[in-house]
Amino acid sequence: MEEQGATASTIDKKATENQQESITLYRMEALKDAKTGKIAALLAAIATRKAGKQLRNSDLPQKKVQKSPQEQASAITPSYDGLVVSLLKQQEELKEELREAKWKLAENKSTAQKHDSKTARRRARSSSTELELFDSSPNRARGKGR
């Protein structure tokens, strides 16, 4: 009986060490890539939660404990983890599409402004030549001589 307890505790220690290593690796990956940092952090949290549940679940056959409503609710959450990850990825894709659309819109506005400024310059040139023509008209010259 003691041998089983000793082997179970060594298995738990090894599992805990492996969990800590995986958590550390996930955290390092999260720090490396800022764009997917949130996703990596959530994946690390999910892995940590799953690892913690595996440890608790290994003790359940030895201890028959009735689950409380909170524990029952937490047992349901792993099915939502995949959904959360897929939604986060979809959110990142939508953000990227939005950035591209905004960039194209800004680009179109700048080309439109350039076009408008060229048109305004042309109008200014044409109106200044019209003024010069108006000033040099014969009627204008007669008015000055009077």
| DSSP at 77 | T
Q: Which helix (H) or strand (E) holds 105?
A: helix 78-135
Q: Helices (H) and strands (E) in the chain — how many of each?
A: 5, 0
Q: What is the pLDDT of residue 130?
A: 60
Q: Each residue of 36-64: pLDDT tens digit?
A: 667 777 788 888 787 777 666 665 555 55
- Phi, then psi, of 68 in degrees rounded to 5: -85, 165
Return per-residue pLDDT of the chain as tens, 146 residues: 455 555 666 666 676 777 777 777 766 666 666 556 677 777 888 887 877 776 666 655 555 545 555 555 555 556 677 788 888 999 999 999 999 999 999 888 888 887 777 777 777 777 666 656 556 555 555 555 44
Q: How far apart are CA 67 and CA 75, in angstroms?
A: 10
Q: What is the pLDDT of residue 146?
A: 44
Amino acid at 47: A
Cβ-contact 12, 55 below 8 angstroms: yes
Closest CA to 78 of 98, 62, 56, 100: 56
